[in-house]
Structures are given as C-alpha cells and as structure tokens.
Amino acid sequence: MHDFLCPKCEGYLRVGENIIFKVKNNKKQSALLLLSPQIGNYTSHKHRTFEIETGEPLEYYCPLCNTSLISDIHKNLAHVLMLDETGVSHHVYFSLIVGEHSTFETDGDSVHIAGEDAGRYTYFKIGDKFRKYF
Ligand SMILES: [Zn+2]
C-alpha cells in the first residue's frame, strides 16, 4: 500500500483507495477530486455538479495545507510524494490537464513513465539529476 503525501506539509493524501485533492476548474470553482493510487490508472471521482472539460487544466491543491501542487518542472504537471512499502520516497508527477494521461515517478535513480500521453513531456527538465532519463 503506497502512501501519497503533500510535498509541502507531508500530510497523507491517500485515504482507502483514493488520493484526495482539492481542485479548481477554469471557472474558479473548487471541488474535491479523487484519483486512483495505482500509477497508470486514470479513474477519477468527483461530485456531479463539478464540471470539467477534456483538455482543461485543473489547479491542484493539498486539501490539508492548501498549497498549490503545481510542479516546478512543467506547468502542466502536478507533484506529490509517494512512499513505498520500504519507506523510500518517490516523486510522482502527473498531468493536470483533464483527459491527459501522463505520469512520471522517480526515486532519484530511475524514472518510470505511465500513460499514453507521457511522450508530450519527454522534453521537460526534471532537474539536473534526472535530465539524462528524458
Ligand atoms: Zn499539504
């Protein structure tokens, strides 16, 4: 069972089989969005009154400390921490564009890529340490 943490407050974002985010759509409406903790599974849950459109960027926030989770490597990618069974932390980056399936996970040594749209971000800079993998 991997835990997911906010990179700022290190609060637990995973509850049961969901990772919980606060999001805002382009009409600046706020809502909770639940994503799967399985990397590469893009199932999501939201309230029916919260309207999002394919191709729209969502602003992701930590529901605990309200920090923006936008990554510092690309404006289309959000960033969270993942703890594996052995307590090693990984950085997970995923697209904040609705309907775009790209996820990058790295423990600092290797990068794992998931999602059929991940190729859109192969050019981005993940920091000097990881650049060689892209
Ligand atoms: Zn937080």
- For the chain, the domains span 3-133
What distance in angstroms lies between residue 65's CA and the mean position of ligand 1's atoms?
A: 4
What distance in angstroms lies between residue 118's CA and the mean position of ligand 1's atoms?
A: 26
What distance in angstroms lies between residue 21's CA and the mean position of ligand 1's atoms?
A: 10
Contact in structure between 56 and 46 (CB atoms under 8 Å): no
Q: Identify which of 89, 73, 26 has the alpha carbon closest to the alpha carbon of residue 52.
A: 26
Does 98 have pLDDT greater than 50?
yes
- Predicted pLDDT at 127: 52
Contact in structure between 45 and 52 (CB atoms under 8 Å): no
- Predicted pLDDT at 133: 41
Please report where in the chains the tokens 């309207």 appear, as a residue: 51
Token output for 106: 């790295």
What distance in angstroms lies between residue 20's CA and the mean position of ligand 1's atoms?
A: 11
Q: Read off the pLDDT of residues 5-52 as tens digits, 9 standing for 90 and up.
A: 999 999 999 999 999 999 999 999 999 999 999 999 999 999 999 999
- Predicted pLDDT at 123: 53
Q: How far is Cα 67 from Cα 70, in angstroms, rounded to an integer?
A: 9
> What is the pTM (predicted TM-score) of this model?
0.90
Contact in structure between 4 and 38 (CB atoms under 8 Å): no
